Amino acid sequence: MLLNFHYHTEIESQQFARDFYQHLAKRRTVRDFAETPIPEGVIENCILAAGTAPNGANLQPWHFAVAQSHAIKKQIREAAEAEEREFYGGRAPQEWLDTLAHLGTDAHKPFLEKAPALIAIFQKSRDTDHEGKETKTYYPKESVGIATGFLIAALHNAGIATLTHTPSPMNFLNEIFERPKHEKPFLLLVCGYPEQGCEVPDISKKSLDQVSSFH
Ligand code: IYR
C-alpha cells in the first residue's frame, strides 16, 4: 500500500522538534502518587500508542497487564517490597547502592498500592505468527524497550505521571497476572497523578555534547 507520509516544512520540523523536546523535558519520574483515578480511555489509548512501536518482524512481542483493583495492587506491593528488602538489605552491591543514594529510594513502596494504575509490561519470547503458527520472536527486548518508551511518552502527553519500577526478580508478576512462562516481566510502570506537594530529586540531564557526536 502507498505510504501516507506527512511532509513538514523546514520551519515546522524545527519548531516541532524543539516543542517536543521541551514537552518531554518536563517529564519527571514521580514516587509520591495521589489516589485520583485516571480518566477512562486514557490508559487504553496510551497502550495503543505503545503498540505502534517498530518491532521485530511485526510480531509485537509485548503484553500490557493493567492492575487497577486494590487487591491486585496490594499483592504486587507485598511481593515487590519483599524483593526490594533483599535488594537493599544485601543483594545489591555497595557500588550500586552508592550510585542510587542521591535518589533517596528504599524498600518501602507505598505507591504500588496508592497509585490508581500499575502497568506490568511483559516481553514475549514466543508468539503466533501472521498465519497463526507458533514462532519465536525477534529482538523482543529492543522491541519492548521501544514500546515502553512510547508508552511513557504517551502517558506524559496525556498528563499522567509515571515511575518505571524494576523490582528484581519480577517473576511474581507472572503469577499475579496469570501470564505464561514465556512472557518475561520487563518492567512495572506506576501511573497516576503526583501527590500535592510532591518533591523530586534536583537532577539534570547531560548536554547534547555529552551524549552525542556528529560526523
Ligand atoms: N529497583 C529498586 C532500585 C532502583 C534501581 C535503580 I538503577 C533506580 O534508578 C531506582 C531504584 C527500587 O525500585 O527501589
Q: Quote the pLDDT of residue 157.
A: 98
What residue has cell string 507520509?
A: 5
DSSP secondary structure code for residue 33 in this structure: B
Identify the DSSP state of 194: B
Q: How far is the CA of 170 from the centre of ligand 1 (A)?
A: 13
Whole-number Å distance, alpha carbon 165 to ligand 1 midpoint, is 7
What pLDDT is attached to residue 128?
Answer: 85
Q: Return the best residue to mutate from 105, 108, 112 for the ligand 1 pocket (most ligand atoms within 8 A of CB).
A: 105
**Ligand 1 within 6 A of CB of 109:** no
- Supply the pTM of this predicted model: 0.95
- 69 C-alpha to center of ligand 1: Å? 24
Which atom of ligand 1 is nearest the CA belonging to 92?
A: 3
Residue 166: CB within 6 Å of ligand 1?
A: yes
Q: pLDDT tens digits for the chain (215 residues)?
A: 999 999 999 999 999 999 999 999 999 999 999 999 999 999 999 999 999 999 999 999 999 999 999 999 999 999 999 999 999 999 999 999 999 998 889 999 999 999 999 999 999 999 988 888 899 999 999 999 999 999 999 999 999 999 999 988 999 999 999 999 999 999 999 999 999 999 999 999 999 999 999 99
Q: Is 157 within 8 Å of 81 (Cβ atoms)?
A: no
Looking from the CA of residue 103, the nearest atom of ligand 1 is 10
Whether ligand 1 lies within 6 angstroms of the CB of 100 is answered as yes
Q: Which of 95, 71, 72, 97 has the alpha carbon at shortest distance from 84?
A: 97
Nearest residue to 73 (alpha-carbon basis) of 113, 124, 119: 113
Helix axes 140-157, 42-50, angle to 10 degrees: 140
Q: Residue 74: its pLDDT value, please?
A: 98
